[in-house]
Structure 1
C-alpha cells in the first residue's frame, strides 16, 4: 500500500489495568516535516467506568478519524493488550469471526475494534510499546487532568 505521509500517534491514559474506573485519554498525532520540525494535532476525552483497554481504543479511534490522507502510522502505547492484538494479528481473526474471540464470546469493546478496523483500512498501522515516557506524555497527562477536573 502506497502512503502519502508518515505519522506517529502517541496515546496516554489515566487508567492502568483492567479495573473499571472513571478516567481520561489523550493522543498526539505527530508529522515530521522535511526540516525536522513536528506538526502536531491532539485530543483528549473522558469516559465513565472504563478500562485502560477501552480508553486506548477510544484514543486510537479519535486519532485515526483525524487522518485525512493515506498514512503510515506508528502507534505508541503502554497498553499490552492492544499491542498484542495487533502484533499477533488477533484483530484480523476477530473480524473474520464477527468480533468474537477464540471461544466464540463477543469481544469487550467490539464496536470500537470494528470502528478502528474500518478507519485503518486506508492506513498502514504498526505498534510500539512506550517503555520510556513519550515526548508528549506530560502535556497529554496535564490535559487529561483538566478534562477529569471538569467532570
Structure 2
C-alpha cells in the first residue's frame, strides 16, 4: 500500500525544526512504491540543516545515500540564510569548468521547493535553482 500522506507542518517562523520534520516525513514516504523506493528502500534517512552539510562531500553519497532537500524561497528568490552557502557552492560548482559535470552522477536527489505565490516570478525560485544545479552536476532525480 502507498505510504500515508505527509502531514508535517513547519514552525511558521522559517525555523530548522519545521524543515527537519518535513524532511523526515517526506524521507519516510520515499520508502513507498515507485522507482525511488527501489533505491531508497534500503537506505536510512537522516535529517540535517543545510548549514551543517559540507557540499563537497555530496559526491561521497553515491550509491549509499539519497539526498532529499527542502528549500524554501524568500523574497527576491533567495534561499534561507542557513542554505545560502550550500546553494551558492552548488551554483558555482555547476558553472565551474574545473568541476566535473558528473560529480554527482551516482547521487539520487530530489528538491521539495517551498514558496509563496505572492512572490510571482520568484515562486519557488530557490528550490528550482537548487534542482537545476544538482542536475547540472549529474545528480539523478529521485522524484520529480
Answer whether TM exceeds 0.5 for this pair: no
Larger relative helix fraction: 2
Higher relative contact order (CA 8 A, sep 6+): 1
Normalising by structure 1, we get a TM-score of 0.28
Normalising by structure 2, we get a TM-score of 0.29
Larger relative strand fraction: 1
